[in-house]
Amino acid sequence: MLIRLAIAWMLGVVAGSLWWPGAGGLWVVVGVGGVIALALRQKPPGRDLALALTCAALGALRYGASVPPAGPDDVRRMAGRGELTVAGYVSGDPRRSEDAQQVTLQVDTARLRTAVRPVEGSILVALPPFPIYRNGDRLAVTGVLKTPPEAERPGEFDYRAYLAHRGIHVLIPEPKAVRLLPTTSDGPLRLLYDVREHCRATMIRLLPEPQASLIVGILLGIQSSIPDDVYANFSATGTSHILVVSGWNFTIVAALLGGFTTRLRLRRWPAFWITLAIMWLYALFTGGSAAVLRAAVMASLMVLARSSERRSEPWTLLLAACWIISAADPHTLWDLGFQLSSLATASLFAFARPVEGWIGSRRPFVWPWMAPFTEALTATLAAQVLTLPLILSAFGNLSLIAPLANVLLVPVVPYAMLFGSMALAGGLLWLPLGQGLGMLLWLPLTWIAQGVSLLARPSWAAVIIPPLPLWALLTYYVVIGGAWWWRMRRRS
């Protein structure tokens, strides 16, 4: 039941995004109608349909509440009014490349000519690559506010809609001046950002490049220091997921904390709250992206199920996590990282066993020593069933060497995480100790870096194809979903 209601909620959010302007009253009527039907229909299937209808209406209303009209102090009202200076805090990790960085500025004041007034909202600012800014820095930026361009033709990428789902409606593409202002915020988040930056700086001192940038991305979720050519190699080999904090990280953290609290002989609920607090601290520490939050919510629900001695059904955990996150921020459903992360998890749940059965019955994967490689290949192929069409639709990039790359590289990642954590802890205590432990870390990171570099060299490693149109993408998911549902019904 929870799975159906979660799906109804998310469909309602999408429907609200399509038919919200002027339709708020309609969704209220639909929601009230669902409640009335629920009161009249106490037995399935009428009760289930009424519940789903009510959840869909609530999802649409939640989306509408997340897009309030521009108030008198909204910064978007100042677009096109000439040169001005805005001040605010950097929100989130800047997106960096070798020749630029994009900073999201949460503004609070603006000066137009000689008048200074309070404003609110977010601005996307394009800046040179140096100096490097980070989350929580306070900046004053001078330039002309502009509205993002719309898609020229239906079906093309709509940059304005993309930014709107991130809460950004105006940008400064060519700032004339940027100043770093004194930071007045000394709260716990600022302390967390400072600790994260200190950990990043420590890791950089323990290893040469590109190994240092790789472990910073794997452990801390900071990809900004990874060279463009190295990141391009990971994209070409279909191994970019190695560089992001995912559910795998939280599974390892939860397992380690579970073993630690067991050794300390803590009671069930104190152990639960300690584990929960540390996992969410880690989620905030690594940037708190939509995919990270989904993984943190799923891990939290799993730990709760274990603490309450209930069975943690994976589909329920996944849909509950998506429901909770989309309730907190409905625009998360349009985040590509969140979509890929959720689809990869769902694909593993649905197709890992069939793929494992097909691979495991063939040589050389039947041999016991091939178990780690079999597991990596199974996860890669199973995840591709649902994620590959979305990747083709978004980027048009098809990696032909991804299965081999994942088989050779993914089994090494846990060792990189383990030795990376040891080296970081040692480096924070005493830098020479961290550098000594970094010698253990150098080998798995070099295997990953050199392996990606070699596998990306063939001209056929990745091919560019025309992006998959939306109708083809939706058709594929309907066919795959229907086939999987029919198979499950037949088995039951």
Proportion of the chain above pLDDT 90, given as a percent: 26
Residue type, 433: L
Yes or no: say if 133 and 94 are a contact pair by the CB < 8 Å rule: yes
The pLDDT value recorded for residue 423 is 94
Tell me the β-bridge partners of 126. Answer: 102
Cα–Cα dist 185/279, whole Å:
24
Stretch 189-213: mean pLDDT = 86
**CATH architecture observed for domain 75-181:** Beta Barrel (2.40)
Residue type, 73: D
Query: Running DSSP on this structure, what letter comes out for residue 242?
Result: G
The pLDDT value recorded for residue 110 is 93
* pLDDT tens for each residue of 147-170: 998 877 766 778 888 898 888 999
* pLDDT tens for each residue of 110-130: 998 888 899 999 999 999 988
Yes or no: say if 162 and 96 are a contact pair by the CB < 8 Å rule: no
Is this structure's pTM higher than 0.85?
no
Cα–Cα dist 1/455, whole Å:
45
Identify whether 131 is preceded by a cis peptide bond (ω within 30 of 0). yes
User: Which band of pLDDT confidence, cut at 50, 70 and 90, is reported for residue 144?
Assistant: very high
User: Which band of pLDDT confidence, cut at 50, 70 and 90, is reported for residue 67?
Assistant: confident
Burial of 28 (0-12, 13-18, 19+ CB in 10 A): middle
By DSSP bridging, strand 115-127 and strand 168-172 are parallel
* pLDDT tens for each residue of 381-403: 888 899 889 888 888 888 889 88
- Lowest average pLDDT, out of 40-49, 60-69, 230-239, 337-346, goes to 40-49
**Buried b or exposed e, range 398-423, using 16+ CB within 10 angstroms:** ebebbebbbbbbbbbbeebbebbbbb
Q: At what angle do helices 402-409 and 371-394 cross, to 10 degrees?
A: 140
Tokens at 62, concatenated: 């939640």
Instruction: Please report the sign of the dihedral spanned by the C-alpha atoms of residue 237, residue 240, residue 242, residue 248.
Output: negative
Distances in Å between the alpha carbon of 167 and those of 14, 17, 107, 120?
A: 17, 14, 12, 11
Cα–Cα dist 347/371, whole Å:
21
Distances in Å between the alpha carbon of 336 and those of 90, 145, 340, 351, 397?
A: 22, 26, 6, 22, 15
Helices and strands counted in the chain (H then E): 17, 9
Distances in Å between the alpha carbon of 366 and those of 370, 379, 490?
A: 7, 16, 28
DSSP sequence for 28-72 = HHHHHHHHHHHHH--STTHHHHHHHHHHHHHHHHHHHHTSPPP-T
Task: Report whether pLDDT(462) > 80.
Answer: yes
Annotated domain spans of the chain: 2-65, 75-181, 206-491
